[in-house]
A and B are shown apart, each in its own frame.
Chain A
Amino acid sequence: MTDLADLTITEAGRRLRDGDVTAVDLFEAVRRRATMTEAELHAFLTFDADGAAEAAAEADAALARGQDLGPLHGIPVALKDNMVTRGVETTCSSRILAGYRPPYDATVVERLRSAGAVVVGKTNLDEFAMGSSTENSAYGPTRNPWDPGRVPGGSSGGSAASVAAGSSFAALGSDTGGSIRQPASLCGIVGMKPTYGLVSRYGLVAFASSLDQIGPLTRSVDDCVTVFEAIAGHDPSDATSYRGEVPDVRAALDGGLEGLRVGVVTEFSGEGFEPDVEANFRATLGAIERAGATVVDVSLPSAEYALSAYYLIAPAECSANLARFDGVRYGLRLDGSSVEQMMSATRRDGFGPEVTRRVLLGTYALSAGYYDAFYGQAQKVRTLVIRDFEAAYRQVDVLVTPTSPTTAFPLGARTDDPIAMYLSDICTIPSNLSGHPGISVPTGVDRSGLPIGFQILAPALGEPVMFRAAKAVEALAGFDARPALASSEGAA
């Protein structure tokens, strides 16, 4: 019999309403799984067992009163620790925010709570979401449930590891250059970045404001749709929030691949791409074609410059956003005889090496005399990337790529080489620059049994066709492998 902690949201919701299980049962299953796996994985920075137990009991009481808040009612979910939670420590994996208890909930947290979800805790990340392996955490790395010697990807690595291991049913992550999709790929689950502006960023500790977007990590495409629907929608507290209607992602969800035009991005293959990743990608393409879609090659000529533009834009915005961590209003403060010395000492001790590197890089790229050559030029390249996408979407409905060039790599393998680390996001970064949605769906494993992700991209507000294609690809791939950590101990 399947452990409750391994159910999808859809299955758990059905059993909850059939009266087979209670929300307290679901939370207890997740708590047991966390107890078994956390010593090895370290997916969570804070596991709020008391708060979650209370919320689960309240969810049961509400159902007993006949008050059903919808598909997330009573479902245990986790939050990346860069989303603020009232009274619950929020650190962004940084020393500079150790002990910070925010005075409010992020909009996405309010939305999940009002949809009846049970928030179980805060997951580990690369400090301030800067990284691709969750090794840049001041509180220690998260490990991959498929192989604890390897990274879970990042920066939403704690969220991805937790969902894969069964210590939550779903989690939220944030995606600035691939930080939802890449860890989802490396952990064998579904991860999705919505169109920029569809999900409120109010209460998301900002990294690069024009690129950041919150999205779900789940164990199925259906579950991903459910969480997306709960968190999407206009929020007056976020000035960049989209004011139109959220597209209806249910109507066409089961439309299949028949008649769909699928573009293969030719730039994302060859050097740097592992043979098993490429073979799985080609096999999936073959299945897509046999299922009735038209598959054509598409070129994004500016894509090779996207990574370079990203590594100017993201640090520039981060250097401005992280100026707020100055030892005055929250978090760490070191002594200093002047305000400047206090701030310089606090920031030197409070920030880890990758954050320091990016703040310095951004400060330089924005400083007098260099602005046009670096930041200004990068913003123009961004326009070229968007034009490439627009041209592509005149020919096809969706674009597809491997999510990441490699499967999960060993801990420590790339920590001394920032550029090698940056390359793991080469397929995901362009859609952050363009603001378009993207999703990673697991489609197989490599020769070592490590999961491989397949990325589907769509134009702005193209979530309906993106989810439709994702659901069809999920069914074609029939990926039902589970990480050793979750299955063996879950059955015990």
Chain B
Amino acid sequence: MPVDIDIAKVARLARIGLDAEELERYGAQLGDILEHAARVQALDTDDVPPTAHPLPMVNALRSDEIEPSLDREEVLDQAPDRDGPYFKVPAFLEDA
């Protein structure tokens, strides 16, 4: 089954800035892989429940006690840009 992919839209959703040549190349490769992967659609699974996790597990809970967390300075020290105790990114709000 050939698969129709709007590769530019997918790349935008994934936040990967690809040029026209790259879009074409990845689009073709994805088509090939999906054609192979789409074989799963041949199976009759109407009465089959999906498995999200391999072992049956219910929610993991613990008592609500304060425990040590990562050192803020050590964490922020790894950021490409910071402003005091904050991560800094390019402006994303228009000036009012």
Interface residues of A (CB under 8 A from B): 100-104, 195-197, 210, 236, 239-243, 302, 305, 308-309, 311-312, 319, 323, 326-333, 336-345, 347-348, 351, 356-357, 359-361, 363-364, 367, 373-374, 376-384, 386, 418-419, 433-436, 460
Contacts and interface: CB of A to CB of B under 8 A. Distances in A.
A347 B11 CA distance: 11
B1 to A, nearest CB: 10
Interface string B14-50: 1111100000001001101110111111110100111
Interface bracket on B: 35 or more
Given A364-B5, A377-B41, A379-B51, A344 B17 contact: yes
Contacts of B48: 380, 383-384
B33 A311 contact: yes
B49 A197 contact: no
B84 interface: no
A55 B28 CA distance: 50
Nearest to B87: A328
B79 interface: yes
B33 A419 contact: yes
B45 A348 contact: no
A339 B90 CA distance: 5
B96 interface: no
B15 A347 contact: yes
- Identify the 7 closest CB pairs spanning chains A and B, nearest first: A435-B54, A379-B50, A344-B17, A333-B80, A103-B74, A380-B45, A239-B60
A78 B1 CA distance: 45
A330 B78 CA distance: 5
A377 B50 CA distance: 8
B90 A363 contact: no
A380 B50 CA distance: 4
A239 B61 CA distance: 8
22 contacts: A195-B55, A210-B54, A308-B39, A327-B89, A328-B87, A329-B78, A333-B80, A339-B92, A344-B15, A344-B17, A345-B17, A356-B16, A360-B11, A363-B14, A377-B45, A378-B40, A379-B51, A380-B48, A383-B50, A386-B51, A435-B54, A460-B55
Given A344-B17, A376-B50, A380-B48, 13 more contacts: A241-B60, A305-B43, A308-B37, A309-B37, A311-B33, A319-B14, A327-B80, A340-B15, A348-B18, A361-B33, A380-B49, A384-B48, A386-B51
A359 B36 CA distance: 17
Contacts of A332: 80
A413 B40 CA distance: 28
B57 interface: yes
